Each structure stands twice: as structure tokens, then as C-alpha cells.
Structure 1
Amino acid sequence: MSVRNAIKPPPNPRAYDDFLSRKVAAARESVRIGEGRSNDEVEATFAARRDAVRRG
């Protein structure tokens, strides 16, 4: 199986577009009201998680 065959488009592209638009709007609103996190904060959190997994 090739990668191209493993990644299938959503069954209903319009519904997916609507879903994605709602997700983006919600994310933008959370950033607007100060609930978002900077990229540096996210990177630091996941670097710590990766280190914890490596240590076991």
C-alpha cells in the first residue's frame, strides 16, 4: 500500500470544510481572549514530554 492510498480524502468535503472552519474560528477566539499559548510554550511542553518518555 502506498502512502497516497493510505491517506483518503474526507467522505464529505463540504462537511469537513465546515468542521475545519469552526475549529479555526474557535482557536482564533481563544487566542484573542488570551487563552492561547505561544509556539515557544507548546514546544517547551512537548520537549519535556519527549524527555520524560525517553527516560521511561
Structure 2
Amino acid sequence: MQTFEKLTPGDNLGTNRQYFDDEVATDWLELFPKDEKNLPELPSGMISAITMRAYC
């Protein structure tokens, strides 16, 4: 398990590929409908969700 004490700046924790397609956008907009004005760009609030998914 990675803990803060074990993390070193610049360490590669692995790779993760996620796609932002229409299905993902639809799911996101169910939670945050006001973000529709920012599409087709990735909503800035989604960065946290992507980071958490990648870390998991």
C-alpha cells in the first residue's frame, strides 16, 4: 500500500487510460448539469474524479 511517507517526487505509480466520450459526459452531466456549457472540453471538476479512478 502506498502511503504519503513512501511517495517520492517523480516516482512513476503506473499508467491509466481513461476516455471522455459521450457516455461519460452524459453520466457527468446527470450530476453536474451546469458543466454542459463547457463541453466538449473536459469539465475542470472531473480532474479529481479521474485522479481518484487512476489511483484506485
The TM-score with structure 1 as length reference comes to: 0.27
Structure that is richer in helix per residue: 1
The TM-score with structure 2 as length reference comes to: 0.27
